[in-house]
Chain A
Amino acid sequence: MFLLSEIEHNLRLPPHLLSRPLNEAIKGELDSLFLDKVIENLGLCISVYDIRSIDGGFIAPGDGASSYKVRFRLVMFQPFEGEVISGRLKESNKDGLRLSLGFFDDIYVPVPLLPSPNHSEPDPEQKDGIRWIWEYEGENYPIDGMDEIRFRVHKIRYPPIPLDEARKSDQEDSEQKDPKIFSTMVITVEVLAVGCVLQQGCFVFLYCVQRKVEVLAVGCVLQQGCFVFLYCVQRKVEVLAVGCVLQQGCFVFLYCVQRKVEVLVVGCVLQPEPAGADCFSFSENLCPYSGYDETECESQQ
């Protein structure tokens, strides 16, 4: 997601900064010039990593400012094609979704790259908004605001800043800034997984591998502290574990192999060790297929 780039720039240091130590003044100028701006084919500049060399310091005739030739390294945000990242939904409309990472918002999911099959409906909460719904195995999972979406980067483009904006910035700035170095960055992605919270404490993680949807895990909290984790491998749902908190800190994990339920482990929370690791006792006596009784004490990592 991030990479380091080395840049050389002729920096003009305004005279009011001459009283400050050189390093600080130059770093401040570089920050204001490059931070949070997109450089074409390099990405979004996050931070100045370090300053390698400062040369020059000449004052041109007729100008009060000194100019330095500075070599420095920048931390750039530039995901590579095929990288997997997670982000949040920012808005959704008829062309698809727009996702946000907090510091970067121009991530678009066009309709063909949404998990399919899907359909859209007008958003009940927002006027003129569209909400996308993913249909999977008869269930409808709406993609809305509280979901964390995992996506794979498809393409990155650097369309230039529109010309009239560049002209405006030329007139306002007294410094000679070249508007062509900066551009915008647009990332197109495909959705891989959507996590969403259903009602009553259930949650679903869905996963889409090359457009075939697999449910990664469905957990739901039943009453009285029981919970179920279901797992779907190639569309066959298997119960992965059913846990049930019995009284006084005992719990049972059941495991389902090909629809036959076996008790995997019965655990019991004993008092904690002084080192801070909890001590668990496991007995595997309830499995009808192995038929042996064994109690062990292990510390949990």
Chain B
Amino acid sequence: MNFVTEVKTLVKENIRDYGMYIALFVIMLTFTILTDGLFMSSRNISNLLDATGYIAVLAVGMTLVIVIRHIDLSVGFAAGFLGAIAAILLTQFGVPVYFTIPIILALGVVIGLFNGALVASIGIPSFVASLAGMLIFRGALLQVTEKTGTIIIKDKYFNAIGNGYIPSIMEVNGLHLLSLIIGLLCIVLYMYSEISARRNKIKYNFEVVSKGVFALKLVFISAIIAYITWILAGYNGFSWTVIIMLAVVAGYHFLTTKTVLGRHIYAVGSNPDAAHLSGINVKKITYIVFCSMGFLSALSGILFTSRLQSATTTAGTLFELDAIAAAYVGGVSSAGGVGKVTGAIIGAIVMASLSSGMNLLGVGISYQYMIRGGVLALAVIFDVMTRKKRK
């Protein structure tokens, strides 16, 4: 098989996985051309990623919830409510930030536990259970912010989570040094893991792609990482939001692809009856997925509150729908058992890119909603079509 045909068949076989990346690339390229390069400027990309953070972490959790055939509508106001609690702890009770954050994250898990109990133990449909949760948290948010209105946070460490950047050590030609180092480390780590995986496969006598294609893939992905690092290093470097987002994706990607727990989650989503008969505790898995969702809601609440440097009475409005949209754009299937965490992040970035690009172009908000809706529908249509083709 020669080089070109090998690449062609690879793309053909994995069109579903590559589709989103291609879509993202096309969207970014279009906006870059339309805005004379403004879209890909360091400042814009940095802002775009920071604005994606609090939705992206929700989308990761939501992907797993949808994978096990459930939905969680309560995450938006749960995030808003927990963000407000964080603000109250910091300002009114003077709890230091290093206590506040673990408390909020733990509260998130408790909320997840509550949702999990309703869905897994009592057997209420998750749509209804989480709709109830949504109303309850909305009310709770209004209740705790009723007297004070918007709560302004002055804690600079807390605010750094949503607005700050990692220290730079020193600047090289106006570039952020530590960010460059992190980017370089990522590339080295990526290359190392790919090469060792390939070597392992060869050891087991499995089929691997040819050396040429492998090298091309390494160079391609490394170049993308390098490019993004270079762009971000040109502004303020990696923000804490981006670091947190990367950590969440890395952690969840590992969890879902490499661990027994991850496999059990997908098994439950694929066929709950078969999972039960395979000795998997379906109830436990449902609890775990909802708890993880609660945890990520809390994280999202912290990111958003910190970004605004305040807790508002409407924080979290429509977050859940943005997260669900991102998950679907990222390729999750409501039939269960199918969907990737990395897809969710790309989905979130696609949606954020659309907003950002259209803002730069001065597209009216009414058209923005319609276009984003259209893209969501297209993404799902593409998904359904490619799946049909396989059969």
B partners with A: no
Query: Could you tell me which A residues sit within 8 Å of B by CB distance?
Result: none
Query: Could you tell me which B residues sit within 8 Å of A by CB distance?
Result: none
